[in-house]
Amino acid sequence: MTVDHLLLTYVVVLLTGVSAIAVYYELRRRSFGPTGTEDHIFRCGRCGYVYTDDPDVDLSRCPQCGQMNEIFEF
């Protein structure tokens, strides 16, 4: 084998190892990290209270003052 082939093999093996470690840690992070919720976020127009409600609800009553509110979009 020439020096060029040895150097190419070394770089490919090193990059494959680093990529495998990155994939492993990404999968590990996803499995132990917090999962997102499907709930909608609401902000009361009267009192400013921010709360969540089920994903199938388009209008929700504020638990603080009772006003009906629409979904809050960021």
Q: Domain containing 9: what range? A: 1-35
What tens digit of pLDDT does each residue of 14-66 get? Answer: 999 999 999 999 999 888 877 777 889 999 999 999 999 999 988 999 999 99
Same-domain status, 3 and 23: yes
Q: How far apart are CA 66 and CA 34, in angstroms?
A: 31
Q: Indicate whether 48 and 31 sit together in one domain.
A: no
Same domain, yes or no, for 3 and 25? yes
- 53 vs 12: CA distance, rounded Å: 50
**Residue 22, pLDDT score:** 97
The total number of structural domains in the chain stands at 2
- pTM listed for this prediction: 0.53
Same domain for 3 and 30, yes or no, is yes
Please indicate, yes or no, whether residues 46 and 16 belong to a single structural domain of this protein.
Answer: no
Do 22 and 1 fall within a single domain? yes
Instruction: Give residue 3's pLDDT.
Output: 93
Say whether pLDDT at 71 is over 80. yes
- The verdict on 28 and 6 lying in the same domain is yes
